[in-house]
Amino acid sequence: MAAKHVYQRPPAGAAADWTVPQNWERFTPAEHAVWDGLIERQTRAVEGMACGAFLSGLDILRLPAPGIPDLAELNPRLRAATGWEIVPVPGVIPNEPFFRHLSERRFPAANFLRPANSLDYSVEPDMFHDLFGHLPMLADPVFADFMVAYGKAGLRAEGLDAVDQLGRLYLHTVEFGLVREHGALRVFGAGLLSSYSETVHALSAPGVQRIEFDLARVMQSDYLFDKFQRSYFVIASFEDLLKVTAETDFQPIYDRLRNQPLIASGAAVAGDRLVPLAETAAA
C-alpha cells in the first residue's frame, strides 16, 4: 500500500506553515482504543531496550484521560520541560517548513492514526510514530537542543543543495540511532522505538553492523525504507551529538561527499569502528 499523506503544497484546511487544527473531538472511540492498545503494548516492549531519556519522557504522554492525547493538555507539559510543542500537520511535509518548525521548537506530527488492521506496521509515519517515537526524546533538554540545531542546519542545507546528505544524519540518529548508556547499547531512534521487532533486530541480530558514530560516514550511508537496516550508528552521548551538529561547518563535508557514491547498508569501509554484539546485552 502506498503512502497517502505526502504533500507538496498545503491541502485544504492547512495554514501557510502546514499546520492543521487537531480537532481532537473528531477521533472515534475505535481510534482511541487503537491508541491505548499501541501505547500499552509498545511501552512494555521497549523496557530494557530504550534509553533512559526516552523512558523518562514517556511520562509526558501519560495524561489522566486515556486515548489519543489532546494537544491542548499535552503541549503545556512538554513546553514546561524543554520549550517544545507538538503541531499537527496533515502528513509528510516539504523540507523547508519541516526544518523551520524544528528550528523554532515545534515538532510536526501527523494528525492521523494507523488503522486497527495495521498495528504492527504503518506504511507512513502516523500519529503513533510521531508522538510515541519522538515526543519522549523532546522532553530531554540536551536532545531537544540537538533537534533545534538540526533544524537550523536544515535551513542552511536548503540553500546549499545538501538536504539529502543532512537528511541521512536525521535518519541514522533521530529515526534509527543507538546510544551507549551505562556500558550497554540502548535505542533512542523513533523508527526503532515505534517498532518492537526492529528494536530487537537492532540490538541483537547477528550480521548487523553497529558502527561508532562518525559524521561524514553517517552522511554518506544509505538507508533502507522497506526492510530492517543492516547498519546502525552508535553515539557516545546526546551531548556529543549536539556538539557535532551545532559546531560543525557542514559545507566542506557536503562538498566532499557530493559526488561520492553512497555506502550501502551493511557494507564495511576502512575506518569503521564496530561495536561487538556482546556489548548490546551488557548490563
The cell 552522511 sits on which residue? 219
* Residue whose C-alpha is closest to residue 166's, from 225, 110, 48, 249: 249
Give the chain's largest Cα–Cα span: 55
Catalytic amino acids? 129, 134, 175, 194
Contact yes or no for 211/275 (Cβ under 8 A): yes
CA distance 123 to 70: 24
Secondary structure class of 94 (helix, strand, coil)? coil
Contact yes or no for 115/4 (Cβ under 8 A): no
CA distance 91 to 82: 24
Q: What angle do CA 4, 10, 15 make, to 5 degrees?
A: 130
**How does strand 184-187 pair with strand 178-181?**
antiparallel
CA distance 57 to 172: 21
Secondary structure class of 2 (helix, strand, coil)? coil
For residue 234, list its beta bridge partners.
178, 212
